[in-house]
Structure 1
Amino acid sequence: AEQQQSAEAADRPRLLIGVEGGASVTKLCLAEAGSGRLLSRAGAGGTNHWLDGFSVCADRLAVGIDALLADAGVKIGDVAGVGMALSGISNADNASEMERTLRQRLPDLPADCQLAVVNDCVGAVAAASDSGGVVVIAGTGDSGGVVVIAGTGSNCCLSSRDGSATLHCGGWSYMLGDEGSAYWIAQRAIKAVWDHRDGLRTCPEPVEAVRDAAFQHFGITDYDGILSHLYTNFEKSRVAALTAKLARLAADGGDALA
């Protein structure tokens, strides 16, 4: 029986899991290691450890991985590697901590399963390279490129063609900028309306449409209502989500301020 089980295990294809983790949304996919055939996809919440902590992020990753495996009808013991490109990963220490926490959360993950944890910019450059990503991560060969990420937050990364250097610009969180991100756009819109209300800075365009969109988005009925969403109930992703409404106002309604 043991020989039969070993033979069956040898016949099963080894599996690879790919993860792209943002501040608000994480996407996962499962593929065969040899053929690259896609077997399943899954989604999860944000996996930036600076926002939610390593434990919460590992829980979300584990739930997503479980969903991938269940959808494909395969076992975790067949997973040969997990590649995770996550926002907030900035050095070897927090990459190692994420790997350690995920292994604790998934005790049945094979001991020889390779886990690679990199910044989401590195994953994006790798995905767009002719080498399929191996060159960029391993740091050898002829590849590299530039990626600009503009989601809930923003970041920019350049990886040299020979893999000898990786340079970053931005990605320092909403407190220091995240220029071009959804949060940055929404915050500027809110400030324009509230500054106009206070008489601090008169807006050259009508503010009513953007004001009404903000009121509706946050479920408030007056200007003071915004305070709870910027203090006790603050969620970066919720503020950022206002940008979708602003985009519709601009594209469909032609609102000048939006």
Structure 2
Amino acid sequence: MKSYLWDTLSDCVSVYLVLFNCLQVTVQCKTIMSNDLFGGIEGGATRTSLVIYNGLGEKVVEHEVAESSNHWNMGMTECIYLLNQIVKDALKKSGKYPADTKLKCLGLCLSGCEEEETNAVLKQGLIKSHPNLAEDYIVCSDTIAPIAVAHGKGGAVIISGTGSNALLVNPSGKQARCGGWGHILGDEGSAYWIAYRAVKTCLDCDDDFEPLPPGATINATWNLVKSHFNIGNRSVGLETPSDERGVHAPQDDDCNARRNEMFELLTPFYANFSKPKVAQLCQKLSVEARNGDVLCKHLFESAGVQLGKMVQSLYKNAEKPLLERPGGLPIVCSGSVWKSWDLVKPGFVKQLARTDRGVLVKEISLIKLKTGHATGAAYLAAKHINYPFPVKNNDTCYVFYNYTAASS
């Protein structure tokens, strides 16, 4: 009996020691993982955001600067300097880690990083110039980050902010793109495109070059353009007689004054051009559109058409598993123009219903993120080095619109 009790006690002690050792290992692993840091940077045309997580998936710090990190715009050397500085500033801001702490991996999802060759140049530049910044890097387009946050295993994203771009990532890894060509070659449906179209419509109307949409005048739009670019000090169509287009009558001496005002646009569009400055006009146009101005409403509806075309372009390249998901093809919608969904929706839905492009969009779900895109870049960083990083896609997004061909 004593022998039996002793054996039982010995077994219990052995089990306890095993559990104690396991607990020690778990604590040690958690300690190590809590000190492993992963950074994610998302850079657009006007802002660059960073988030740092530890290996347990706990957010350490967020940081943002009102600067572009597009190396095509600012130069590779300046871009590398900015990225390093953002990380250092964020670590210092955390109050927990010194600025010279080396990250396990840094994910860079940046506007302009569309080519593998230039991405490799950026990566090597960081390694050479700042060897203690991170142990490894992954460099890719800013379109990748939202998909990593929302889907994980494939999906689409349409960015319509200062500029525009669209990307589809299939479960097989195959990708399809649409847009991303910048303001000279593209940016359809973006804030810049809407603002540019507003200015160009005013010029075309004054030149009697293109007709306005039925019932539209340029009064409100031209007043906004003048105010935004600090041109002249009078409002078209208010002090002097105007025709049905909102353009001053040809016999008025004020016509020459108006034409001189329009020539003042050459300065902000050529001599001192700033794409973000032009794009900022879009928000003011949205206010007039919601106030019922016909031309402003038309501009946003036209943008919706362009965004619908992007969906059609991606949809025809989507693989069956994506299309058969509940809710159809998931599309993350990113950028300031999507804040005016009520204004772009009519043109968007109208375009999706069209079949003259050889594609029938059966069902899609438009998604908004609850977290910043930089989180997706951090997810990609952990995945890049096969780190067991906890990812919770379901908690990071929500569907704000579901389109089906039957309901259109």
Q: TM-score range by the shorter chain?
A: 0.7 to 0.9
TM-score for the superposition, normalised by structure 1: 0.84
1:245 maps to which residue? 284
Structure 1 residue 12, shift from structure 2 partner? 6.4
Overall identity of the aligned pairs, in %: 34
Distance 2:41 2:162 in 1: 17
Name 2:294's counterpart in structure 1: 256
Unmatched tracts of structure 1, length 5 or more: 1-8, 132-142
| Structure 2 CA distance for aligned equivalents of residues 238 and 105 of structure 1 | 32
User: Against the structure 1 CA distance between its residues 159 and 10, is the aligned structure 2 distance closer, same or farther, given a 3 Å change threshold?
Assistant: closer
Per the TM alignment, residue 103 of structure 1 is displaced from its structure 2 partner at its CA by: 3.6
Provide the residue aligned with 1:19 in structure 2: 41
Supply the AA of the counterpart residue of 1:26: T
Q: Is the 8 A contact 2:102 2:132 kept in 1?
A: no
- Which of 142, 167, 179 aligns to 2:188? It is 179
Q: Where does residue 160 of structure 2 map in the other structure?
A: 150
Q: Match of 1:38?
A: 59
* Distance in 1 (alpha carbons) for counterparts of 2:49 and 2:148: 16
Deviation of the 1:57 alpha carbon? 2.0
**Distance in 2 of aligned mates of 1:217 and 1:107:** 44
Alpha-carbon distance in structure 2 between the residues aligned to 1:49 and 1:149: 19
Pick aligned residue for 2:210 from 201, 206, 210: 201
Please give the alpha-carbon distance, in whole angstroms, between the structure 2 residues aligned to 1:67 and 1:149: 28
Query: Which residue of structure 1 lines up, in the alignment, with residue 69 of structure 2?
Result: 47
1:126 to 2:135 alignment: no
| Cα-to-partner distance string for 1:97-155 (whole Å, 9 max, x where unaligned) | 22233345534325xx11110111122211212x4xxxxxxxxxxx1111111111111
3-state SS in 1 of match to 2:182: coil
Tell me how many residue pairs correspond in the alignment: 233
3-state SS of paired residue (1:64): helix
3-state SS of paired residue (2:159): strand
> Could you tell me how far 1:11 is from its partner in structure 2?
8.8
C-alpha RMSD over aligned residues: 1.9
- Structure 2 unpaired stretches of 5+: 1-30, 233-260, 297-408
Counterparts of 2:92 and 2:35, CA distance in 1: 16
Q: Which amino acid aligns with 2:156?
A: V
Q: Aligned pair 1:100/2:124, yes or no?
A: yes
2:108 is paired with a residue whose SS is strand
Deviations along 1:53-103, one digit per CA (max 9) or x if unpaired, are 212222322232122111102133341111011111122111112223334
How does the TM-score come out when normalised to structure 2? 0.54
Q: Partners in 1 of 2:80 and 2:228 — Cα distance?
A: 30
Q: Which has the higher contact order (CA 8 A, sep 6+)?
A: 2
SS in 2 for 1:85: strand
Pairing 1:233–2:272 present: yes
